[in-house]
């Protein structure tokens, strides 16, 4: 099976600081790939590069057979015009740590927005689709609420609905439970688990090791801007081969045993 | 020196003149706020994203207006513009030009601060949804900016409304001019100015009350 997402030899630096030093990663359709690692290891930057929210300096990212964010022109790598990038982003869904729901729109409008303005669906059709996703994340009674009237967990579920309603080829999750109170984490993870079971391709940055172990098909451990180790969760999380991963996992010992 | 004899009835007889003066002042303020907002949006955009020469031009404009008295701008628009061949404005419209240019400078700063305080996360979410650049501006950045700066817009409107008193200097028949008229024609000096002051007070208070309600209605960002 051909990978849906293909990252090859990705390099990025912020000034003198090298954050990504040659990342190559393939994600197959229907696969859930979890990126784990200490903060500063480059996981979030990698995810943001995939959605062209960050520039990078070398390498390539392809969704299907289309390169994201750049094109080759006379042997040089050139950034695509913003309108082309915008169209590409429509095939990728992203959920942020800080939810980022549009504050001036109701839950329904947040979810329907992309369907109307990007996918050019009629208002009625868009609202029907939006409503069905809002129901699936368990917030049917909140459709007319504004983001500030919701808890963090509820906002994050709306943010997930907003992204998946577009039926993206790949969903990107950037530490989506890190800003949540502990008692609200479960409801968000449950929604993600349902998506994974439904066959949604997902690239997930997470510190929730129980969730990663249960849901991910593959765990990728990053450290210092490189992939140190990867494989099925039962191997990577339970029998780490490298010392760096062993050290990283000691802090999750209570959770994983 | 004889005692001053109050005659409120004479003042009251001029109520229509005061009333229409007040209405005209509100119209002038609203019109200037509207035109000033367009100037302010363009200015903020030019100042933030334009080429260097445009940034410098906007900065000079803002600094110039901030440091020049409004009355001088009003005189320039009324007496000066016709001298350089711009004769299309009567006294009312020359005042609107002056007040718009004046409020435009302040609103440039208001809009700039507003756009800059839109959290970057909203823009990124708008990108992630797949919106085109102009859609991001129209559907997300401008509406959020508008909600952020709404209190500043209300304050600007109230101070522009009070500034319309200066239009009396070029014989625009607004509220202050009505008071002046009463003073000159009937010598009911204290009645005239008190009457005008009370009307300014009630109008200003009323506007503030309505604007606070509008602000609350749109205050969905907490």
Q: Which chain A residues contact residue B218 at CB under 8 A?
A: 104
Residue B220 has pLDDT above 80, yes or no: no
Best of A52, A104, A116, A176 to disrupt the B interface by mutation (most B CBs within 10 Å)? Answer: A104
What is the predicted pLDDT for the residue at B221? 65
Helix (H, G, I), strand (E, B) or coil at A113: helix
Confidence of residue B2 (pLDDT cuts 50, 70, 90): low
Q: What is the pLDDT of residues B142-164, one digit of tens each?
A: 999 999 999 999 999 999 999 99
Neighbours of A33 (CB within 10 A): 20
Question: What angle (nearest 5°) sits at the alpha carbon of residue A151, between those of residues B133 and A111?
Answer: 35
Q: Which chain B residues contact residue A92 at CB under 8 A?
A: 128
Chain B, residues 155-174, CB within 8 A of chain A, namely: none
What is the predicted pLDDT for the residue at A205? 96
To the nearest whole Å, the CA of A200 is away from the closest chain B CA by: 17
Neighbours of B8 (CB within 10 A): 12
Neighbours of A62 (CB within 10 A): 15
Chain A, residues 181-240, CB within 8 A of chain B, namely: none
B120 at A interface, C-beta within 8 A: no
Q: Which of A89, A91, A159 comes nearest B127 by C-beta?
A: A89
**Rg for chain B (alpha carbons), in Å?**
21
Q: Which chain B residues contact residue A146 at CB under 8 A?
A: 220
Q: What is the pLDDT of residues B151-205, one digit of tens each?
A: 999 999 999 999 999 999 998 999 999 999 988 888 888 888 999 999 999 999 9
Q: CB of B33 within 8 A of CB of B153?
A: yes
What is the predicted pLDDT for the residue at A246? 93
Q: Which chain A residues contact residue B147 at CB under 8 A?
A: 103-104
CA distance B109 to B113: 6
A179 at B interface, C-beta within 8 A: no
Q: What's the domain range around B166? A: 12-218
Q: What is the pLDDT of residues A115-133, one digit of tens each?
A: 999 999 999 999 999 999 9
> What number does CATH give the domain A5-250?
3.40.50.300
What is the predicted pLDDT for the residue at A204? 97
Token pair 């990504």: residue: A20
What is the predicted pLDDT for the residue at A23? 96
Kindly list the domain boundaries of chain A, sorted by start residue.
5-250
Q: What is the pLDDT of residues B41-66, one digit of tens each?
A: 999 989 988 899 999 999 999 999 99
Q: Is B3 within the bounds of a domain? A: no
Q: Which of B130, B143, B220 comes nearest A118 by C-beta?
A: B130
Q: Is B202 within the bounds of a domain? A: yes
Q: What is the pLDDT of residues B87-112, one digit of tens each?
A: 888 999 999 999 999 999 999 999 99
Question: Closest Cα to residue A248, out of A226, A218, A228, A225?
Answer: A228
Residue B1 has pLDDT above 60, yes or no: no
Task: Give Cβ neighbours of residue A194 (< 8 Å, ≥ 6 apart).
Answer: A136
Which residue is closest to A145 within chain B, CA to CA?
B220
Question: Does ipTM come in above 0.85?
Answer: yes
Least trusted range by pLDDT, from A12-16, A107-111, B2-6, B33-37: B2-6
Q: Which chain B residues contact residue A159 at CB under 8 A?
A: 125
B118 at A interface, C-beta within 8 A: no
Number of domains in chain B: 1
Which is it for the CA torsion B167, B171, B172, B178, positive or negative?
A: positive
Residues of chain A with pLDDT under 70: 256-257
To the nearest whole Å, the CA of B153 is away from the closest chain A CA by: 18
A78 at B interface, C-beta within 8 A: no
Question: Closest Cα to residue A167, out of A117, A130, A192, A122?
Answer: A130
pLDDT, average across residues B27-40: 96
Chain B, residues 136-155, CB within 8 A of chain A, namely: 139-140, 143-144, 147
Q: Which of B130, B135, B222 comes nearest A89 by C-beta?
A: B130
- List the CATH number of the domain containing B98: 1.10.3720.10
What is the predicted pLDDT for the residue at B122? 96
Q: Which of B119, B121, B133 comes nearest A83 by C-beta?
A: B133
Residues of chain B above pLDDT 90, percent? 73
CA distance A179 to B63: 43
To the nearest whole Å, the CA of B127 is away from the closest chain A CA by: 7
Q: CB of B117 within 8 A of CB of B148?
A: yes
Phi, psi of A22 (to 5 degrees): 90, 65
Structure tokens at B7: 């005659």
What is the predicted pLDDT for the residue at B222? 54
Give the DSSP letter string of chain B. Answer: -PPPPP-HHHHHHTHHHHHHHHHHHHHHHHHHHHHHHHHHHHHHHHHHHS-HHHHHHHHHHHHHHHTS-HHHHHHIIIIIHHHTT-----HHHHHHHHHHHHHHHHHHHHHHHHHHTS-HHHHHHHHHHT--HHHIIIIIIHHHHHHHHHHHHHHHHHHHHHHGGGGGGGT--SHHHHHHHHHHHH--HHHHHHHHHHHHHHHHHHHHHHHHHHHHHH----
Q: Do B128 and A92 make contact, defined as CB atoms within 8 angstroms?
A: yes
Residue B10 has pLDDT above 80, yes or no: no
B221 at A interface, C-beta within 8 A: yes
Helix (H, G, I), strand (E, B) or coil at A5: strand
């Amino acid at each position: 099976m051909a990978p849906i997402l293909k990252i090859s030899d990705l390099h990025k630096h912020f000034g003198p600081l090298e954050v990504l030093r040659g990342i190559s990663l393939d994600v197959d359709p229907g696969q859930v790939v979890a990126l784990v690692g200490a903060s500063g290891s480059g996981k979030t930057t990698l995810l943001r590069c995939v959605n062209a929210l960050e520039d990078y300096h070398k390498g390539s990212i392809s969704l299907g057979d289309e390169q994201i964010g750049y094109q080759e022109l006379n042997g040089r790598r050139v950034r695509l015009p913003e309108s082309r990038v915008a169209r590409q982003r429509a095939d990728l869904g992203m959920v942020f740590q800080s939810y980022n729901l549009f504050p001036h729109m109701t839950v329904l409008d947040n979810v329907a927005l992309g369907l109307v303005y990007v996918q050019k669906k009629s208002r009625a059709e868009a609202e029907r689709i939006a409503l069905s996703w809002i129901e699936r994340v368990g917030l049917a009674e909140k459709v007319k609420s504004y983001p500030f009237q919701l808890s963090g967990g509820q906002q994050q579920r709306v943010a997930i609905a907003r992204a998946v309603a577009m039926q993206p080829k790949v969903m990107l999750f950037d530490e989506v439970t890190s800003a949540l109170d502990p008692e609200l984490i479960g409801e968000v993870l449950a929604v993600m688990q349902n998506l994974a079971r439904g066959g949604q391709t997902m690239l997930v940055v997470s510190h929730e090791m129980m969730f990663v172990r249960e849901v991910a098909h593959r765990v990728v451990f990053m450290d210092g801007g490189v992939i140190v180790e990867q494989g099925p969760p039962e191997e990577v999380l339970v029998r780490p081969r490298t010392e760096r991963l062993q050290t990283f996992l000691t802090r999750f010992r209570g959770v994983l045993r | 020196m004889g005692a001053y004899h109050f005659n409120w009835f004479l003042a009251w007889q001029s109520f229509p003149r005061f009333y229409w003066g007040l209405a005209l002042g509100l119209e002038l303020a609203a019109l200037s706020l509207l035109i000033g907002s367009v100037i302010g949006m363009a200015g903020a955009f030019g100042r933030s994203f334009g080429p260097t020469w445009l940034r410098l031009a906007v900065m000079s404009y803002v600094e110039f207006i901030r440091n020049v008295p409004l009355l001088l701008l009003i005189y320039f628009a009324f007496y000066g513009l016709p001298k350089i061949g711009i004769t299309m404005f009567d006294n009312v419209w020359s005042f609107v030009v002056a007040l718009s240019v004046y409020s435009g400078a302040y609103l440039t700063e208001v809009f700039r601060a507003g756009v800059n305080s839109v959290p970057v996360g909203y823009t990124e979410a708008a990108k992630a949804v797949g919106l085109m650049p102009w859609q991001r501006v129209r559907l997300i950045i401008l509406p959020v900016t508008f909600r952020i700066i709404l209190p500043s817009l209300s304050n600007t409107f109230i101070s522009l409304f009070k500034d319309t008193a200066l239009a009396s200097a070029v014989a625009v028949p607004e509220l202050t001019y009505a008071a002046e008229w009463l003073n000159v024609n009937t010598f009911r000096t204290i009645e005239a100015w008190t009457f005008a002051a009370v009307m300014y007070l009630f109008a200003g208070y009323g506007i503030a009350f309505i604007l606070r309600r509008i602000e609350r209605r749109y205050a969905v960002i907490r």
